[in-house]
A and B are shown apart, each in its own frame.
Chain A
Amino acid sequence: MIGAGMAALFFDVGARLLTSALAPIPLRPPAASTIAEGVDMLHYTLTAITLFFTVVIFSTIFFFMIKYRRQSEDEIPPEIEKNVPLEILWTGIPTLICVVIFFWSASLYVRNARPPDASTEIFVVGKQWMWHLQHPEGVREINELHVPVGVPIKLTMTSEDVIHDFYVPAFRVKKDVLPGRYTSLWFQATKTGTYHIFCGQYCGADHAQMIGWVYVMEPSDYAAWLSGGASHESMAQAGERLFTQLGCVTCHAGDNTGRGPSLIGLYGKPEKLRSGETRIVDEGLIRQAIVFPNSVILPNYPPVMPTFQGQINEEQVLQLIAYVKSLGTQERTGK
């Protein structure tokens, strides 16, 4: 009977090995970003630990099954109920392993959490069931993202509808894309090539079709691509156009004569709001001001700003934000 059991296990393993020998299956996606190798190293270590303990436990079980199989119905095993040093050992070793893995992983994670200051920003709007991307220079893409190799790229993302998730396996990056707020991820590609984009959060009927490609190009090719084709207005220029079209300029005149504050130099600064709290003027706050104006009124200004919710889409909001940023004195230079 044990023989049958072991045979079954070996058949199982053998079948797997045989199949993978016949059709070589990669163990990992392409490693095309600065963090990919680090993540893979951690992953392989965890895999080794998993396989090690699994094999140890299974083999110990098999060994005991054979060595201590019942010889007669009358045999009485010895009383072995506990062994405190052993308990401490096999509590301590797993704890140690967990501590090491935690710190290793956390340090990778923390290091990867903040984008470098000089990142190129690209803006992503997810909607059922496609990705809209905008470069600051104005080029727009659908389900495709062209980037230069070797340059840190920061994606600022939001959703028009439900929760999506922007996932590039080759870069080992993933972040949920949420309605009503901005999330971001960053990466620096290390190899030119074409890599999958997947939507990683179930979002309805065509969730599996909400996929695309990242094209990583040499910097010169990227520059050529960026400026090729019809000339585009940059995001900031589009935002300026909207600023006038929607009448924002009426109240937010640059010389502070309107009913609202001038927006020059506002971006990136901490501001104290009417409610008393102080917040940094970032993308999220500007979006909130456009959609829920009365929640972020500045002191000494009346709460009379109308909401533009429903009048503009998320991409247009990003263009307005780009315009407000361009009015600021922060040294943010997009490409």
Chain B
Amino acid sequence: MAPTAAHSPALVHQFETKEQQHDAGNLGMWIFLATEIMFFGGVFMAYIVYRALHLEAFIQGSHFLDVTFGATNTAVLICSSLTMALAISAAQTGKSKSTIITFLVLTMLLGAAFLFIKFNFEWTHDWTEGLVPGLHFTYSGPHAPGVQLFFCFYFFMTGLHALHMFIGLGILTTLTVMAYRGRFNPEYYAPLEVSGLYWHFVDIVWIFLFPLLYLIGRHYGGGH
């Protein structure tokens, strides 16, 4: 190979400079997030259509959701985005690796807390109440078909979101290991940055999900 500027170990062969590699990584993640927007967007559109067609049923269904848990989870995720940003900032400003690891672990704990609340409290409750379409749905009150449709979307959308959270936890674990091995410093923190984008995106999806699913009833004032 022709002589080039000495490649630092972190520069992969297809790139000519660290800047190019860093820019490419960032652009790649933004484009990936664009695909995620379209992915979630598709199911959001379907949800919006059905909400318009079956408004009363969706209000009814929304009442079965616990706003306290939902709001708590929203706060938990927002905090986790904060800790993630602090982890990136720690690497950028050359803080010790234990600082980086602390913030990463905090992010993971908050993410796990979110999933714990969702699965252990909300979903389990929905199961015992017989509100899980296809598996255990016993609601027979007014607007039953529409309520079932609501819960189809509720479980699908929050389930898809939870899947993305799990993947995020996996990524965070990898990042923690990398941080433990001292890989991050002010010259190289691209994986943190790129993963941070992903994590913030998952947070933002939830910030849309929460009012759409939990707060319809509030908007329309109480319901029946």
Do A and B touch, yes or no (CB under 8 Å, in the complex)? yes
* Chain A contact residues, CB within 8 Å of chain B: 275, 292, 294-295, 303
Is chain A's binding surface mostly helix, strand, loop or mixed? Answer: loop
Contact: A294 with B142, CB < 8 Å?
yes
Question: Does B193 lie at the interface of the complex (its beta carbon under 8 Å from any beta carbon of A)?
Answer: no
Minimum distance in angstroms from B210 CB to a CB of chain A:
25
Tell me whether B203 is interfacial, beta carbon within 8 Å: no
Instruction: Determine the chain B residues whose CB is within 8 A of the CB of A275 once the complex forms.
Output: 55-56
Q: Which residues of A contact B54 (CB under 8 A)?
A: 295
- Complex CA gap A295/B145 in Å reads 11
By the criterion CB–CB under 8 Å, are B55 and A294 in contact?
no
Jot down 9 A-B pairs with beta carbons below 8 A, ordered by A. A275-B55, A275-B56, A294-B142, A294-B143, A295-B54, A295-B57, A295-B143, A295-B146, A303-B142
Cα separation A294 to B146 with both chains bound (whole Å): 11
Q: How far is the CA of A295 from the CA of B58 in the complex (A)?
A: 12
Smallest CB-CB A-B distances: 3 pairs: A294-B142, A275-B56, A303-B142
How far, in whole Å, are A294 and B57 apart by their CA atoms in the complex? 10
Once the chains are docked, how many angstroms separate the CA of A295 from the CA of B146?
A: 10
Q: Which residues does chain B contribute within 8 Å of A292, judged by CB atoms?
A: 145
Binary per-residue interface labels of chain B (54-73) against chain A in the complex, 1 for a CB within 8 Å, 0 otherwise? 11110000000000000000
The secondary structure that dominates the B interface is: helix
A292 to B56, CA, bound (A): 13
Contacts of A295 in B (CB 8 A): 54, 56-57, 143, 146
Chain B, residue nearest A274 (CB)? B56
**Hey, which chain B residues are within 8 Å of A294, CB to CB?**
142-143
Query: Which single residue of chain B is at the shortest CB-CB distance from A309?
Result: B145
Q: Mark B22-34, 1 if CB is under 8 A from A, else 0.
A: 0000000000000
If A294-B142, A294-B143, A295-B143 are given as contacts, then 8 extra A-B residue pairs at C-beta distance below 8 Å, sorted by A number, are A275-B55, A275-B56, A292-B145, A295-B54, A295-B56, A295-B57, A295-B146, A303-B142
Q: How far is the CB of B171 from chain A (nearest CB, A)?
A: 43
Question: Once bound together, how far apart are the Cα atoms of A27 and B55, in whole Å?
Answer: 51
Shortest CB-to-CB span from B56 to chain A, Å, is 6
Assembly CA distance A303 to B56 (angstroms) = 12
Residues of A within 8 A of B55 (CB): 275
Q: How far is the CA of A303 from the CA of B224 in the complex (A)?
A: 12
A303 to B142, CA, bound (A): 8
* Complex alpha-carbon distance, A295 and B53, angstroms: 10
Give the distance in Å from the alpha carbon of A294 to the alpha carbon of B56 in the complex. 10
Shortest Cβ distance from A300 into chain B, in angstroms?
Answer: 15
Cα separation A294 to B142 with both chains bound (whole Å)? 7
* A76 → chain B closest CB, angstroms: 33
Chain A residues positioned under 8 Å from B143 (CB to CB): 294-295
Residue of A nearest to B146 (CB): A295
Contacts of B146 in A (CB 8 A): 295
Chain A: minimal CB distance from B58 (Å) = 12
**Nearest CB in chain A: distance from B60 CB, A:** 10
Smallest distance from the beta carbon of A324 to chain B beta carbons, Å? 23
Q: How far is the CA of A275 from the CA of B53 in the complex (A)?
A: 12
| 142-180 of chain B: CB within 8 A of chain A | 142-143, 145-146
List the B residue with the shortest CB-CB distance to A275: B56
Residues from 98 to 149 in B contacting A, C-beta threshold 8 Å? 142-143, 145-146
A295–B143 CA distance with the chains assembled, in angstroms: 7
Task: State the Cβ distance, A297 to closest chain B Cβ, in Å.
Answer: 10
Nearest chain-A residue to B142 (Cβ)?
A294
**Closest residue to B59 on the A side, CB-wise?**
A275
CA distance A275 to B56 in the complex (A): 7
B150, chain A: closest CB distance, angstroms: 14
When chains A and B are docked, how far (Å) is the Cα of A227 from the Cα of B56? Answer: 47
CA distance A275 to B142 in the complex (A): 14
Q: For the complex, give the distance between the alpha carbons of A301 and B141 in Å.
A: 17
Which A residue sits closest to B144, measured CB to CB?
A294
Distance between Cα atoms of A292 and B143 in the complex (Å):
8
A303: chain B residues within 8 A (beta carbon): 142
**Chain A residues positioned under 8 Å from B142 (CB to CB):** 294, 303
Shortest distance from the beta carbon of A296 to any chain B beta carbon, whole Å: 11
